[in-house]
Amino acid sequence: MAVHAHPDDESSKGAATMARYVREGVDVLVVTCTGGERGDILNPKLAGDAEILANMAEIRRAEMARAREILGVRQEWLGFVDSGWLEDYRPENADKLPDGSFGREDVATAAQPLIKLMREFRPHVVITYDEEGGYPHPDHIQCHRVSVAAFDVAGDAEVHPELGAPWQPQKLYYHVSFTRSQFTALHEACLAAGLESPYAGMLADWPAARDKGDRVTTRVECGDYFPIRDDALRAHATQIDPDGGWFRTPLAIRRQGWPTEDYQLAKSLVDSPTPETDLFAGVRKEGLV
C-alpha dihedral sign at 154, 31, 143, 107: negative
Residue 248 CA from chain centroid, whole number: 21
What was the pLDDT predicted at 209? 67
Instruction: Give start and end residues of each alpha helix (H) in 76-195.
Output: 107-110, 112-121, 138-153, 180-192
Identify the pLDDT of residue 210.
75
- Cα–Cα nearest to 63, from 55, 216, 160: 55
Which conformational region is residue 147 in: left (phi greater than 0), alpha (psi within -120 to 50 degrees), or beta?
A: alpha
Q: How confident is the prediction along the chain (289 residues), in pLDDT tens digits per residue?
A: 999 999 999 999 999 999 999 999 999 999 999 999 998 888 998 988 888 888 989 999 999 999 999 999 999 999 999 999 998 899 999 999 999 999 999 999 999 999 999 999 999 999 999 999 988 999 999 999 999 999 999 999 999 999 999 999 999 999 999 899 999 999 999 999 999 999 999 898 888 767 899 999 999 999 999 999 999 999 999 999 988 888 989 999 999 999 999 999 999 999 999 999 999 999 988 777 7
**Mind listing the domains of the chain with CATH numbers?**
2-177+215-268 (3.40.50.10320)
User: In 79-130, which ranges are continuous DSSP H helix?
Assistant: 107-110, 112-121
> Which residue type does 170 have?
Q
Q: What is the pLDDT of residue 289?
A: 72
pTM of the model: 0.95
Does 9 belong to an annotated binding site?
yes
Q: Which among 225, 245, 232, 231 has a CA at the least distance from the CA of 64?
A: 232
* pLDDT attached to residue 6: 97
Question: Is 140 labelled as part of a ligand binding site?
Answer: yes
Is 27 annotated for ligand binding?
Answer: no
